[in-house]
Structures are given as C-alpha cells and as structure tokens.
Amino acid sequence: MANLDKYLTIEDLMKAAKRRVPKMFFDYADSGSWSESTYRDNTTDFEKIKLRQRVAVNLENRNLATTMMGQPVSMPVAIAPVGSTGMQSADGEIKAARAAEKFGIPFTLSTMAICSIEDVAENTTKPFWFQLYVMRDKPFIERLIDRAKAAKCPVLVLTMDLQILGQRHKDIRNGLKAPPPITPKFLFEIATKPAWALGMLGTKRRTFRNIAGHVTEAVDLASLSQWTATQFDLTLNWKDIAWIKKRFGGPVIVKGILDAEDARLAVENGADGIIVSNHGGRQLDSAPSTIRVLPEIVDAVGNRTEVLMDSGIRSGQDVLKALALGAKGTFVGRAMAFGLGAGGEAGVTRALQIINKEMDVTMALMGERDVKNIGLHNIYSNDLQKRQGY
C-alpha cells in the first residue's frame, strides 16, 4: 500500500480512487442525476460561504469533540450510508466501520450495502447506525428492523427521498450491477486494477447481503435484481414513521429533508432528528444544495429536534460552515468512498484525518477553541451573501 500521508485533500483521495477502482463503481460514487447540477452545487455553494478570521486569541486546548444524537463523537462527523460501498474495496463496509469506530465517530450502514448487518456486527466491537429504505415487502422490512435491533444499532436512519429512483446517466451507461457482469470490457479494465480484483477474489461478499438470503423471491442474482427494482414504496408517507419507531424501539432520524415544511411534518410525526439531504445530488436534479436550505430548516425546527446534514462536504471547512449555519453534525459519504477506493480501511482513516486536521486548523484561525461554540458569528457577512441567503 502506498504511503497515504501524501494525500492532503479529499480530492487527492478521489484521484487515487479513480486510478484503483473500476469505472462503473467509481462513477457510482462520483456522480449525480440527470445534468448533475445539484451534485455540483452541493460543493460550489459551500465555496461561496466565507469565514471570519480572528487573531490575538488564546488557541490552547482546542476541542472538536461533541455529541450527535446523544452519542459522544470525536468530531461532528458521521459516515453516511452509501450503497454498494463493498464494491469500492472488498468488504468495504466492514473496513469503513472499523475506521469510524477507531476514530470515534458513527458509521451508518446502508440497506443496499454489500456487507450485511451481521457481517459488520461480527467484525466490529461498537454498535453502528443503520439506514432503512422502506420497501413494498413489509414483512421483509420488519425483519430488517429486527436484525438491526439484534445487532444493537442505536440509531435508525430512515431515508424518505428514494420512493422513485432519479435517473443517473453514468450508472445506466456503465451497466452498473453488483456483482459486475463479466464482460470482455470489464475483464480488460480490471486487468489494470489488480489490487481491486484480488481483493474481490478474496471475499464472498459481492452482492446485496442485507437482501440476498432473506427474501424468498431472490434466489439468484437475476431474481435479486428484479425484486429490488420493484420494491421501492411509492406509498411511503409521514405516518410510516410511527410504526417504524415502534418496531425499532429507539431513535429514528428522517433523511432526505430539503424543505422547511417537510422538516416540520417530520418532527410532528415523531422524527427524533432530521438529516438535511438531497441524496448527494442523485435524486431531484435542480433541487437546491443542502447548505443553501440548511438555515431555513434550522429556523423552522432547530429548537425542536436535532438537525444534521449531508451532501457536498469535502473538507473540514465545509463541516464548520454547516455548523455555523445551524447543523449539529454532518455526514460524509463520498469522502469515505474515495478514501476506501484509494486505500481500504487506511484510506478511510486518512480521509477522516484530513477532515479533522482541516477543522482544527480552520477553527483556530477563526479564533475559536471549542467546536460547540461555532455559530453564525463565524460567518463573514456582506450584502452579496445576504442576497444569496447565507
């Protein structure tokens, strides 16, 4: 494994992952829906926010530790649920969960993970969070929630913005599947990515193991794909939060909130927290970036529930900007995926180290010593920014 210390930014890890991971899986992580305008805005809108620099302040004993959903964290960052993480690197969910555990932050396992709930639970020592997609097969969903409970997952993340799949052109053109189809084109490509190929040969985890073996209709890859494609629930509604909470018996966060009215409805229907998210720009293209709508959602429900956010975070500075605009914590998905593709578990650790150091140094240059004190007073304000809504 190459020396990962040479990677200084998440973009460095992204470039390394692009060299090591087959195109269809790298593109899965590095893409949005339709024109990808929201995907781009998620990052460029962060760049428009400017931070106040302060000097001549005692900067000793700086602290990034806080809590997310009542859980102590070493920094206000959790790993977001990312489908097919185990195709970025063999056993990828296990590797990412271990890195998060050692770093002292939450890891969130996707329903559409390659490694199952049981796989991750057997290979880690601390409970992880679980993300739930509600499907038409309610008995399966009930069993899935029960499996998360059995694994002692302390928090359930309910994703509500995927009742129907946004059209992702790169995935369609690449013929994305897990496991991938063994075509001459794919064989030629993996010949140039031997480390990835060897890793995949060395694991039995190559399909969606939260589903495979748990659904009678999915007996092979073809039937699994067919079952999954017909399962997203077009009738999902706010009342579903109640039975999911009752079945799970613990805190439920609603993910996919991009509108203040939806935020209020989520809270009124029992959400214990919300994640301001546009699914990383992979659902409704031309929707606003999450950082743009964050302030109005904080204004609407921030005094009633814990507001978290994802989509677009590529640096420790982005985390601080989200906190300054009212988020209590953040999630990173692509930063994790790029680290994983670049260097496995060590690559995820390197991604977290990069974000952590950027947070620490930036906070100091802002004249702050404790991340819990970050707020609107840390945002540089002028007429242009006011017009842009920051």
Known binding-site residue numbers: 28, 81-83, 110, 131, 133, 159, 168, 255, 277, 279, 282, 310-314, 333-334
Q: Which residues are catalytic?
A: 279
Q: CA torsion angle for 347, 353, 354, 360 (degrees, to 10)?
A: 170
d(CA 157, CA 267): 14
Hey, which residues does 252 pair with through a beta bridge?
Answer: 156
d(CA 158, CA 145): 11
CA atoms within 13 A on the CB side of 256: 21
Burial classification of residue 270, based on how many CB atoms lie within 10 Å of its CB (0-12 exposed, 13-18 middle, 19 or more buried): middle
d(CA 101, CA 331): 15
Report the candidate in 94, 91, 90, 87 with the shortest Cα–Cα distance to residue 200.
90
Residue 94 near residue 128, CB atoms below 8 Å: no
Residue 26 near residue 341, CB atoms below 8 Å: yes
Residue 141 near residue 132, CB atoms below 8 Å: yes
- Residue 154 CA, chain-centre distance (Å), reads 17
The tokens describing 184, both together, are: 């001459």
Binding site, annotated residues for glyoxylate: 28, 133, 168, 279, 282
- Amino acid letter for position 43: T
Binding site, annotated residues for FMN: 81-83, 110, 131, 159, 255, 277, 310-314, 333-334
369 phi and psi, to 5 degrees? -115, -20
